[in-house]
C-alpha cells in the first residue's frame, strides 16, 4: 500500500497518484483494526497459510524493523508449541474418557455376572437347607449353643474388668478427698498467684472491655454481617454476576476498532 507519510510506499513523481479508500488485502478481512478481524488474522498466521504475506503487508505499513519479532514469535510459540500442545491435551483427554467408558462397561458386566451367581447360589443353598435331615439340624443347633455360651462368658469377663476399673477410680477419688486441707490450699494459692502474675492490668482491662455491652453488640453485629456476606458470596446470583461482569469487561476491551468515535 502507498502512503503520503510514514513507512508506506511513496508514490514516484512520474504521474502516479496515491488515493485513499483501499479496504485492505483479501477484501479487507486481513487487518488488525478490530478484535474479530485481528483474531482471524492471527489464526491465519498460526495455521502457517500466507503468514509471510501478512508480514510483508505489515512491513509496508509500519516498517520492517519490529514486525518480524512478533511474527516469528507467533509462529514458534503459537504454531509449533501451543497448537500441538492443545491437540495433545485433547487427544489425551479423549483417550482417558474412552478407557473410563470401557472400564465402566467391563465393571458393569462383571457386577451383573456376580449378582447372577450370588442369586443362583442363594437359591441353591435355600433348596439344600430345606432338604436337610433333622439330626443334622440338631447338631448344628448344639454347636451354635456352644458358641453362644462362649460369647456370654466373654461378656462376663469384660464386665468384671469394668467393675475393677471403676473401683480403682473410686479409691483414687477417696484418697484425694482425704488429703489435708493445708496441702490443697497451698496448691490453690500457688495456682492463683501464678495466674495473678500472668494477668496484669492489661488483662483485666481487656476482660472488662470484652464484657461490656458495646463489645457484645459489636461481636453480635460482626457475626451477623459475616454470615450475610458469606451467604451472598456463596450464592449462585453472585457467581453469575461476576461472570457477566467479566464478559462485559471483555466486550468493552475488544470493542476498540479503527476510526472509532470519541465517545
106-141 pLDDT, tens digit per residue, is 999 999 988 888 888 888 888 777 666 555 555 555
pLDDT of residue 224 exceeding 90, the answer is yes
- Does 49 show up as a binding residue in the annotation? yes
The model carries a pTM of: 0.41
State mean pLDDT over 5-10: 64
Question: Looking at residue 84, what is its pLDDT?
Answer: 85
Residue scoring higher pLDDT (192 or 98): 98
CB-count exposure of residue 260 (10 Å: 0-12, 13-18, 19+): exposed
pLDDT of 3 > 70? The answer is: no
Asked if pLDDT for residue 236 goes beyond 50, the answer is: yes
> What mean pLDDT do residues 48-75 have?
87
Q: So what's the pLDDT on residue 154?
A: 57
**pLDDT of the residue at 186:** 47
Per-residue pLDDT reduced to its tens digit, 170-221:
555 555 445 444 444 444 445 445 455 555 667 777 777 777 888 888 889 9
**Is pLDDT above 80 for 231?**
yes
Q: How confident is the model at residue 223 (pLDDT cuts 50, 70, 90)?
A: very high
Amino acid at each position: 500500500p502507498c502512503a503520503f507519510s510514514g513507512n508506506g510506499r511513496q508514490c514516484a513523481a512520474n504521474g502516479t497518484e496515491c488515493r485513499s479508500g483501499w479496504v485492505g488485502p483479501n477484501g479487507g478481512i486481513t487487518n488488525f483494526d478490530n478484535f474479530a478481524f485481528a483474531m482471524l488474522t492471527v489464526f491465519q498466521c498460526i495455521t502457517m497459510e500466507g503468514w509471510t504475506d501478512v508480514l510483508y503487508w505489515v512491513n509496508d505499513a509500519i516498517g520492517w524493523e519490529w514486525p518480524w519479532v512478533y511474527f516469528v514469535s507467533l509462529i514458534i510459540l503459537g504454531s509449533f508449541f501451543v497448537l500441538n500442545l492443545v491437540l495433545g491435551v485433547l487427544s489425551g483427554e479423549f483417550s482417558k474418557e474412552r478407557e473410563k467408558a470401557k472400564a465402566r462397561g467391563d465393571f458393569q458386566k462383571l457386577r451383573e455376572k456376580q449378582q447372577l451367581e450370588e442369586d443362583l447360589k442363594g437359591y441353591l443353598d435355600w433348596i439344600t437347607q430345606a432338604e436337610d435331615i433333622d439330626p443334622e439340624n440338631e447338631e448344628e443347633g448344639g454347636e451354635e449353643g456352644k458358641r453362644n455360651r462362649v460369647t456370654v462368658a466373654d461378656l462376663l469377663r469384660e464386665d468384671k474388668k469394668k467393675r475393677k476399673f471403676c473401683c480403682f477410680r473410686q479409691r483414687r477419688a477417696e484418697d484425694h478427698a482425704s488429703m489435708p486441707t493445708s496441702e490443697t490450699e497451698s496448691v490453690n494459692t500457688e495456682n492463683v498467684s501464678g495466674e495473678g502474675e500472668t494477668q496484669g492490668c492489661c488483662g483485666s482491662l481487656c476482660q472488662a472491655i470484652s464484657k461490656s455491652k458495646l463489645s457484645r453488640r459489636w461481636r453480635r453485629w460482626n457475626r451477623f454481617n459475616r454470615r450475610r456476606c458469606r451467604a451472598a458470596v456463596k450464592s449462585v446470583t453472585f457467581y453469575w454476576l461476576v461472570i457477566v461482569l467479566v464478559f462485559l469487561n471483555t466486550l468493552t476491551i475488544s470493542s476498540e476498532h479503527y476510526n472509532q468515535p470519541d465517545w
